[in-house]
Structure 1
């Protein structure tokens, strides 16, 4: 009688909720790894002080390395060169929005909540103001970001900015509008940023008017509801609050790596 060959049975793993949750990328919900190493952060933060005078350039990096006590050759730890300095600006100014949100609405009472739309506008405006010190250098930065090698990273950071703004504004919807809202906001922010580089009005008043008009078209008055309820707040809809809680309240997309 022939011996029976036993074959290992395939083990089926049931996907858990965690498998479908993308970690939310913001100051309050940091990504698994830091955007910059300690040495990179030290060099870039020192170099950033020279951007107003020297732009997002190798010269600024060299001066920053000297200020931080590194030899000139240390700039070689930044393979993307000047773009690393641009990305440092993008990341740090985006992360600062979490602190801004806490300052503006951290003690918000239940009877005086600002609308989600108003929060979106305010945070987008605060982020634009983050460019004030380097606005005269920002067209140079945009030219670098438009280079094919840096377009993917630039767009990724813009997408993260739009995601952060919606999340910090209290929008926790997980539905098809997740993508359209973020895509629309990213487009509006990018156009407002470009507009700002040519704005000579006091306090960039024209830029804010431009931003408000574009956001007003995206979010008509009928949808300007408070974060306590209404079309933009779906936290009370069946199936959303529990899945959100399982992901620690994170954004990042309604599906895994979708």
Structure 2
């Protein structure tokens, strides 16, 4: 039976996680994962052209998937919107089974050559949160919401990595404070909009910002030249 692309990648990632605490997301970890799974090295390299870097990305996205599953399954009807955002960030961190793998990933994506990958992953996480919570903005607010939450999420992850409080209670308190800071910014923006003097001063900048639109979401489809993994 032929092992599918996704199955082989999952096997490689699961095997790699046992080595990441010792060797990081490195070539040594990737080679160990190949040995442990007995996946053909050529196939493994085709699945992960950048080796452990691609596995680190897959690990992050696995956490995003778990977070989205929690958002969909939990009853959030009684929560205020800020509470929904805080819950989503908390579920994202609670989806992590190995904090050391995140720590090693943070170190990896802080390197200049992988910083763009790291930024894309954080943006993908916060975009998943806003989308799952029903965000329908299609103007500059689409960007500002995600940029603001990226800062909240990144700082919370760094705090969480060093948190040894019971049940990470200090982290959740830190998260609440960061979201409160964001809410203060939103209140300040509302005061500007409601001020006859300040609102007139913002007519020009507001017009310019109104021309900025959210990117179009591309539907998932098979384009010519693309490859879909065979089924088992």
Instruction: Tell me the TM-score normalized by structure 2.
Output: 0.69
Contact 2:66 2:95 (C-alpha < 8 Å) held by counterparts: no
The match for 1:176 among 137, 140, 146 is 140
Deviation, structure 1 residue 56: 2.8
Match status 1:166 vs 2:115 = no
Aligned to 2:108: 144
Unaligned 5+ residue runs, structure 2? 188-212, 218-232
Q: Which structure has greater helix proportion?
A: 2
Q: How many residues align?
A: 187
Aligned to 1:116: 81
* Superposition map of 1:11-26 within 5 A: none
Q: Which moved more, 1:61-70 or 1:150-159?
A: 61-70
Match status 1:256 vs 2:221 = no
* Superposition map of 1:187-226 within 5 A: 187-220=151-184
For CA contacts below 8 A with separation 6 or more, give which structure has more relative contact order: 1
Deviation, structure 1 residue 160: 1.1
Measure, in 2, the Cα distance between the counterparts of 1:71 and 1:173. 46
Aligned to 1:96: 66
Contact 1:121 1:212 (C-alpha < 8 Å) held by counterparts: yes
The match for 1:57 among 26, 29, 45 is 26
RMSD of aligned residue pairs (Cα, Å): 2.7
Describe the SS at the equivalent of 2:120: helix
Measure, in 2, the Cα distance between the counterparts of 1:209 and 1:203. 11
Deviation, structure 1 residue 101: 1.0
Q: Which moved more, 1:43-52 or 1:95-104?
A: 43-52
Instruction: Tell me the TM-score normalized by structure 1.
Output: 0.63
Measure, in 2, the Cα distance between the counterparts of 1:103 and 1:138. 25
Measure, in 2, the Cα distance between the counterparts of 1:48 and 1:136. 9
Aligned to 1:186: 150
Aligned to 2:192: none
Deviation, structure 1 residue 254: 2.2
Measure, in 2, the Cα distance between the counterparts of 1:255 and 1:119. 24
Describe the SS at the equivalent of 1:150: helix
Aligned to 1:47: 16
Deviation, structure 1 residue 197: 1.4
CA deviation profile, 1:53-105 (whole Å, cap 9, x unmatched)? 65433343333223322245655333322222211111111122221112113
Deviation, structure 1 residue 114: 2.1
Deviation, structure 1 residue 182: 0.6
Unaligned 5+ residue runs, structure 1? 1-35, 224-252
Deviation, structure 1 residue 121: 0.6
